Amino acid sequence: MLKKLKILDESDKRLRKVSDNVTFPLSIEHKELIKKIIKQLKYSQIEEKQEKYNLRPGMGLAFPQLGIHKRIIVIVEEVEENKFNNHVVINPEIISHSVEMIAAEAGEGCLSVNREVEGHVRRYARVTIKGFDEDGNKIKIRAREELAIAFQHEIDHLNGILFYDHIDKKKPILNEIEIRFI
């Protein structure tokens, strides 16, 4: 059984608020919410669960998308069919990135944006993130390609930024070469 999370829509002004740093220990409510987010993101990437619970596919969710202005992001990455890596990062910070830029070929989507948005978002191809796990231990994650895009997308939510804010109004659609460029 899955009790679906109430994800804010892009029209909600709360999505534009900058989130506060988290202090430890993490509350029991926040730990429970992280488990629910992981379950829903995982189910949203498994076709039969997606259909059963009427879920839009998603790889990441930030606490502000639930109306909670705390710097917590959750990314559930499918590494092979129905096998997932869960990334929970509290107070995440990008500490280094590549010069190389990329864009998601199909464009980005967002669980808070319930419509198709035309255009590509330029992101760093590789990032290193530092932050804390749920127990307050320091962590460092190196991410590349799709996972790097997901981290940048979710960290943007913590700063009140939606992905389409990055789309170049003069040239929203990139060609194949521009999707991978330096």
Could you give the strand order of the β-sheet that contains 83-97, starting from the edge strand earlier in sequence? 60-62, 72-80, 83-97, 126-132, 138-144
Our answer to whether residue 154 is catalytic in this structure is yes
Alpha helix (H) residue ranges in the chain: 28-44, 47-52, 145-158, 176-179
Q: CB–CB of 63/79 below 8 Å?
A: no
Alpha helix (H) residue ranges in 45-138: 47-52
In the set 10, 93, 105, 154, the catalytic residue is: 154
- Residues labelled as active-site residues: 154
